[in-house]
Amino acid sequence: MLIQKLSRISLIRSPTKFSGIHRSSVGLATKCCSKESRRSLSSNHWAQFEMAPVDPIVGLNEIFQKDDYPSKVIVGVGAYRDDVGKPYVLPCVREAEKKMMDRKLDMEYSGIAGDPKFVDLALKFVYGNDSIPILENRVQGTQALSGTGGLRVFGELMRKHGHKHIYVPNPTWGNHIPIFTNSGLEVRKYRYYDSEKSDLDFLGLIDDIKSMPAGSIILLHACAHNPTGMDPSMEQWKEMSETIKKHNILPFFDCAYQGFASGDPIKDAAAVRMFVEDGHLISMVQSFSKNFGLYGQRIGALSVVGRDEDEAKRVVSQMKTVIRPMYSNPPRQGARIVTTILEDPRLTQDFLDQCKGMANRITLMRTLLKDKLAEVGSTKNWEHITKQIGMFAYSGLSSDQVMEMRENHHVYCTADGRISMAGVTSGNVDYIANAIHDVSK
């Protein structure tokens, strides 16, 4: 026993000898284990990763591409197509690109908030040149990575400043929910659409607003509600404005279709401008993907209306603290294209005419689809197709009917029955109408 104690003491008092033994034998074992661990990590590092589900909207195109049926049709993805189903670049955008090339612009970084000239023109485009808050410099903003990037910045900004939740319409654009969830906000829903009647559930909407806790954020689609295409009337917007103000709710507008919905950007911004005139200190995200056809440029703006210029600038300074570690600064090309168009009166008018042309084609396709459904023998009421507005028509088809239409007719739309009217053309409208009738009769 004594010898064992002395042995332990000698080991403790002889660090050199012990350390030598440790480094030579234990170290060798560690080296071997380390080698085995590295081999294990090398072979299994990604093993726990499962295949993610296909995105319900963007992934639809991947499924469509794998279908080799010659008459297949996709009416799911939210991008404008001309009447032969091809992507469309606005002529005014092409002209703006040529002007930019002639100026031999540099490729330096933008500031954190993006191109100041673009931001100024973007805000005047939606709020109006004669907007009192614009004239008083109470509207301030930043460039954003289209609508999606602006939504994420806003969600994180509000979460960092004490907000816990946001209310979104039911239904809403599918990406709204994961964007706000990933921002750290709890997503709550308010009633918006009555699927039984294929109409706005206005009474439910108002009742739900009244029950929201004071200080809550409410997401509002400025125009061309996605996915339903069912917008409130101006009288209904007025009641919503009064109710939201009375209950001290913060309105956050998602404005993705200004000019593209009705063909008139002033009309499409009417709800936003009404809320501002009613005294709301709103926040808003804008996208220029649809109306300018700049899908791949990722160009948008995020803005707030403050009580005074200083307040609005303070909010924007906090936006920049979110942007800097997220993506540092936005790309320049899309901002330059929009700026080149909106600062030139002739190009601006060209844009208005061309944007109206896109909106008119979609309106025509709505009428044709409804008429063709009647022609093929459908006895269902399809009035909601022409009552709705914008790129999407909420058909009322169930998910089972959508899958049946996909399998039997190779017509692809999202599982909720949302049809992108931009994918409907004079050449395929008969085929689509027959497919819809076959699965819904």
Domain at 109-343: CATH architecture? 3-Layer(aba) Sandwich (3.40)
Buried b (16+ CB within 10 A) or exposed e, 366-404: bebbbebbeeeebeeebebbebbbbbbbbbbbeeebbeb
pTM: 0.88
Catalytic residues: 173, 254, 290
Tokens encoding 87: 């992507």
Decide whether 58-89+349-440 matches 109-343 in CATH topology: no
- pLDDT for residue 74 is more than 90: yes
pLDDT of residue 14: 42
pLDDT of residue 380: 95
Report the mean per-residue pLDDT for the chain: 92
Residue 347 has pLDDT above 90, yes or no: yes
Determine the pLDDT at residue 217. Answer: 98
| Span 82-133, pLDDT tens digits | 999 999 999 999 999 999 999 999 999 999 999 999 999 999 999 999 999 9
Return the closest-CA partner of residue 60 out of 416, 385, 391.
416
According to CATH, what is the number of the domain 58-89+349-440?
A: 3.90.1150.10
Average pLDDT over residues 269-296: 98
pLDDT-derived band at 33, boundaries 50, 70, 90: low
What are the boundaries of each domain within the chain?
Answer: 58-89+349-440, 109-343
* Torsion on CA atoms 340, 342, 345, 347, rounded to nearest 10: 60
Helix (H) or strand (E) holding 412: strand 411-412
Interval 377-420: pLDDT, tens:
999 999 999 999 999 999 999 999 999 999 999 999 999 999 99
